[in-house]
Structure formats: structure tokens, C-alpha cells
Structure 1
């Protein structure tokens, strides 16, 4: 199963009449603090935002978000978790997070991408990667 999160996004709220709900389905994500590695952030954010402990962490890659406008890079990972207990509301009160965690099948997630229900590029990218690599993940080779 795929573990996803849903949270309110101010940018989406500004365009809600045109683009739908300001509550976006996303992957777990976070900023790298000083003296942290991208891998440490992936593990920390999985616990904070989804209540999941990563059993394995597979690096997808590092990419520029919008190189014409910013030097920001995003580090993408695929984390393997026990999804049987995933769900509920998570996030840090200090960060005013109200994050709903849910699971769905890989097929359902990819169907949402195919029919336009995925509205953010990070989730679209990660789901496409999963589509290409799920067999290697199952075999333990990704």
C-alpha cells in the first residue's frame, strides 16, 4: 500500500475556485535544517507527518525545483514502512500542522494520477517513479 498525506496549502487556497480543494494529497516532505542530511530529514518527517518509522529508504534522486527562478533542489526518496497501522491525524503542534494520513493501493494512486486528481508535481513525479520501479522495490533491488 501507498501511504499519503493530505494537508491544507495556502497557495492552493488562493486558487480554490479554479483548481478545487485547498487540501492537497501529497507525499511526506520537509526542510533540511542545519547539520542534517536529506536522509535524516526523510526519516524525521515520516515520523512527524505520518507516524511511520522507515524500515528502508531508497534514494530516487536530487533535482532542481525550478532552475530558472531558484537554486533550490529537492531530494526525493521512497520509504518502505509497515502501512498496516498508518492513518489518523499527525503533525507538530509547534508547526501548526494538521495532517491527515491515509493509505491506498498503488493502482488507486496511479489511477488518481492518470485521471487528473493529483494536483502537485512532487506527488506526480513520485508516483511515476513508483510505477516504473515497484517491481524492483518488491524484489528488494531498488
Structure 2
């Protein structure tokens, strides 16, 4: 037992959706007091840092309802039940961009908001990209626009707050730090 561990005494399921579920846990704190924790359960996700042979970064722009605005992001998506993250990364890259990777490498995994959610994002680097005609089709409720940009163009998108999510900002730092574009 960790010295800061909170022991769950009761879990109440509040909502079970297509992507997430919400529960409220009653917990016993390390000092003996009780508290409630509102928790979002998520199956996990992937994001893909995709770089063309011309050193362009593959991004997609899509509307994000939670923010009521479009964002420019690295290709990403939710893991399906039992799906391997590397397979999901290849699938999402093809669905959203029409590219297949020659190679795909796991770089890092991180939790997005551990204060209230268990979403774990697996970051992959896709290289040796090949454009696929008639490849996988995007989800029926997903509308994305493909962008191929230089690192300096991507950094300007971040300054303009068109790139404004943690996974994509992390990806840009990784690209710059490793001289990928």
C-alpha cells in the first residue's frame, strides 16, 4: 500500500457511453477521512507523429465539440476493445490521412488528465509513408481535413492557438528535439 493511497469503499456508475463512462467513487483517505472522486474511464487512445520523406508533418483539422471550435492535431483515435495500440495507430493514420506507414515505432505513453480520467495515450512515430488510394474510410461521424506542414508552419499554428491540445504540442516538441522535420 502506498502512503497516499485512497481506498475505494463504493463505486456508483453514473453514465456508460460509446467512448467514456463516468463513475463516482467513495474513498477512504490516508488520514481516515472520506471523500468522493468523480472519475472518467476511457479505453485509451493513440496519436501518430507522421513525417513525410519531404520532412512535412501530417496534421488534421477537425471540429472539437467540447471546445466548440476546430483544432489542428496529429492523427489520433480511440482504441477499440482488445486492439493493439500499434495496429490502432496504423488504422487511424490511414483513416484520417490516407497514408500507410512503412514503419511505426512506439515512442511514449502518457496519461492525459490523471486527476479525473484514466485515458492513456500511446504516441507512435510513423515513417516511410505511402499514400493509399481507396484506403480505409474515416468514421461516418468524423470530418477531417488533411494538412502537410513544415515544423515552422506547425509552430505558427500553435502560436495562433489552432494547435492547442497537449498531445500535438508534445509531438511538436518531440519533432523539434529529435530533428525530425
2:123 is aligned to 76
**TM-score normalized by structure 2?**
0.61
Is 1:53 the counterpart of 2:100? The answer is yes
2:91 is aligned to 44
Is 1:12 the counterpart of 2:67? The answer is yes
Conservation of the 8 A alpha-carbon contact between 1:49 and 1:92: yes
Q: Which has the larger radius of gyration?
A: 2
Structure 1 runs (4+) deviating above 4 angstroms are none
- Which structure's residues are more often strand, by fraction? 2
Of 70-79 and 41-50, more deviation after overlay is shown by 70-79
Output the CA distance in 1 between the equivalents of 2:129 and 2:160.
28
Stretches of structure 1 lacking an aligned partner (at least 5 in a row) = 14-21
Conservation of the 8 A alpha-carbon contact between 1:91 and 1:99: no
Stretches of structure 2 lacking an aligned partner (at least 5 in a row) = 1-55
Q: Report how far residue 130 of structure 1 moved.
A: 0.8
Conservation of the 8 A alpha-carbon contact between 1:6 and 1:101: yes
Matches within 5 A, 1:1-142: 1-13=56-68, 22-82=69-129, 92-94=138-140, 96-113=141-158, 115-117=159-161, 118-134=163-179, 137=180
Q: Report how far residue 81 of structure 1 moved.
A: 4.4
Q: Report how far residue 79 of structure 1 moved.
A: 1.2
Structure number with the bigger relative contact order (C-alpha 8 A, sep ≥ 6) is 1
Conservation of the 8 A alpha-carbon contact between 1:3 and 1:101: yes
- Which structure's residues are more often helix, by fraction? 1
1:19 is aligned to none
Three-state SS of the structure 2 residue aligned to 1:62 is strand
Three-state SS of the structure 1 residue aligned to 2:152 is helix
Report how many aligned residue pairs link the two structures: 122
Output the CA distance in 2 between the equivalents of 1:93 and 1:35.
19
